[in-house]
Amino acid sequence: MKPIRFFMLFSFISILLVACGTVSTPPVDEQVVLATMVAETVQAALDESPAEISATQAAPTDNNAPAPVAPTAEAAPPTAVPPPVSPAALTVAYVKDGNIYVWTEGGSSVGLTGTTDAQKLSISSDGQRIAYVRELSAVPPTYELWVVNSDGGLLNPQLLVSQAEMDALKAASQFATADGFDYDQIKFRPGTHELYYSTVPRFMGPGYAPSYDLRMVNADTLAKSTLFDFGQAGAFTFSPDGAQIALSAPDHISLVNTDGSNLRANVLTYPLVGTYSEYQYHPSPIWAVDSLSLRVSIPPEDTLTEPTPPTTLWYIPVDGSAATQLGSIPAIPFDWPDGAFSPDMSYVAYSKSVGEPTENQREIHIAYADGSGDIIFATGTSLQFRGWTPDATRFLYASHSVEDSGLYLGSINGGVFTITSVNQTMRQIEWVDNDRIIFIYDNPTNGASELRISHQGGTNHAFIDTLSDSFPSYDFTQ
């Protein structure tokens, strides 16, 4: 896999970008790989900002997508959120041996529970509350929602939603005969201790059929509300200011205030994306930092048709008006670029298949948010785009080839740096800030899964804990 020389053909500017040649691969000694991360922070950001993008096409017509039913509340402006309170230091909550632990930068890990049945979790933006799901029984599967104080003080722990309440929800749903009723998403509303959650039925065999409901419980007062009942919502994503929610369903996206008012139903509709399975794909819209708009990429209805239709790129305003199409990028079968847009909405990244399908050759492309100015950043075997830095100047991508397998840091300016030579050892990677990543490290020496934080320059390297869970869960705030 070699980054290639290329010209960035963007509006009003032509900049020659030269990549760093063949990516050097360090010895496969994973004990030192993570301690010798990238030698220095890439100086990024182009000298010019991308040109303003104008909408080019109206949103598609309604595809008979069912509109969510708004609660009986008058339309209102977005719900005010108190100024967020940040923790004194980076705080990471995680599950180990079925218990909740918290780690604070500069300190150590502290165990908060002892029931050994904890699963997924969410930490409040101030770091004070950690909500988590308990699996009380595997047969039949039974679940409850709890919260614990991160300082181990009062409210340590406390029940939020009981098994009896979940049984009642299951009985009222279309999956009354399911073996159990679980929590699909749980997430604190930014700047508050209001925990939002959705549900999903569980069966003894495989299958995933989210209920697409949306409910809230206040972790301080225990006040509860149902914003949307079964089938009326979608996968939910909070705006950065915590005032609005995007609801993403398999055939439409809607917007709503966090109190359930001011529903803007079906601001974007689209055909169901074929997955050739029982799984129904729903897109992942990305909020602008000012909370005034979103961007989303929509794959074609059938990626196996020839020629393959493109993935379309959309702009969604929050005022309830229809979305507009910005442009498009090529589509790859069963590869849905949910993280294609950069956090500042300036760029879009994607991988593209080239050559004979049996060779599995791909290119990493970078373009403006409307798909224009497209350049090839790198070519190689089984390349995957893995996400942008918060400042949108760099990005992670992985190669799965035998000769140069690794996780790499690319720059908008063209530079490429090796993070690790065996990318399969690192998963669930998230950027803590513009220079540090938090991730699960599957240690090849002892087979342990470890939660780690690393600075890309090799400094401020932190081992948090060894995890035994098959599907580790963690969340952080700072």
Q: Which of 33-37, 85-89, 451-455, 456-460 has the highest mean pLDDT?
A: 451-455
CB 17 within 8 A of CB 378: no
What is the average pLDDT score of the chain?
82
Q: What is the pLDDT of residue 438?
A: 94
Which pLDDT does position 308 carry in this prediction? Answer: 86
Q: Which residues pair with 289 in a beta bridge?
A: none
Closest CA to 90 of 101, 71, 74, 103: 103
Cβ atoms of 237 and 249 closer than 8 Å: no
Band the pLDDT of 35: cuts 50, 70, 90. Answer: very low
Residue labelled with tokens 């081992």:
463
Tell me the pLDDT band of 13, cut-offs 50, 70 and 90.
very low
Which of the four pLDDT bands, split at 50, 70 and 90, describes residue 78? low
Which residues are within 8 A (CB) of 168 and not within 5 positions of it... i.e. 6 or more apart?
none
pLDDT digits (tens, 9 = 90+) for 130-154: 999 999 999 999 999 999 999 987 7
Residues 169-198: b if buried by 16+ CB within 10 A, e if exposed: bbeebebeebbbbbbbbbbbbbbbbbbbbb
Strand, coil or helix: 52: coil
CA distance 265 to 253: 7
Q: Residue 205: which pLDDT band, with cuts at 50, 70 and 90?
A: confident
pLDDT (tens digit per residue) in 319-366: 999 899 999 999 877 777 676 899 999 999 998 888 888 888 899 999
Predicted TM-score (pTM) of the model is 0.82
Q: How many CA atoms lie within 13 A of 417 on its CB side?
A: 20
d(CA 368, CA 388): 14
Best CATH choice for the domain 2-69+86-477 from the list 2.40.30.10, 2.130.10.120, 2.60.40.10, 1.10.10.60: 2.130.10.120
C-beta of residue 316 within 8 angstroms of C-beta of residue 267: yes
Tell which wins on pLDDT, 268 or 58: 268
pLDDT above 80 (res 254)? yes
Task: Specify the DSSP class assigned to residue 241.
Answer: T
> Domain residue spans in the chain?
2-69+86-477
Q: Let me know: does 457 contact 66? Beta carbons within 8 Å.
A: no
At 306 the pLDDT is: 85
Rounded distance between C-alpha atoms, residue 437 and residue 131, angstroms: 23
* pLDDT single digits (tens) 147-194: 999 998 777 899 999 999 999 999 999 999 999 999 999 999 999 999
The three-state DSSP-derived secondary structure of 93-130 is EEEECCEEEEEECCCCEEECCCCCCEEEEEECCCCCEE
> Other C-beta atoms within 10 Å of 475: how many?
22
The amino acid present at 112, given as its one-letter code, is: L
* Chain position carrying tokens 């598609």: 60
pLDDT tens digit string along 421-455?
877 788 899 999 999 999 998 888 888 899 999 88
* Separation of alpha carbons 340 and 448, rounded Å: 31
Spatial contact of 296 and 110, defined as CB atoms under 8 Å apart: no
Q: DSSP secondary-structure letter at 164?
A: H
Answer yes or no: is pLDDT of 100 > 90: yes
Neighbour count for residue 121 (Cβ, 10 Å): 21
Cα–Cα distance for residue pair 280/299, rounded to 1 Å: 13
Share of the chain above pLDDT 70, in %: 80
Asked if residue 42 lies in contact with residue 412, where contact means CB atoms within 8 angstroms, the answer is no
Write the pLDDT tens digit of every residue in 356-379: 888 888 999 999 999 999 999 999
Are the beta carbons of 106 and 462 closer than 8 angstroms?
Answer: no
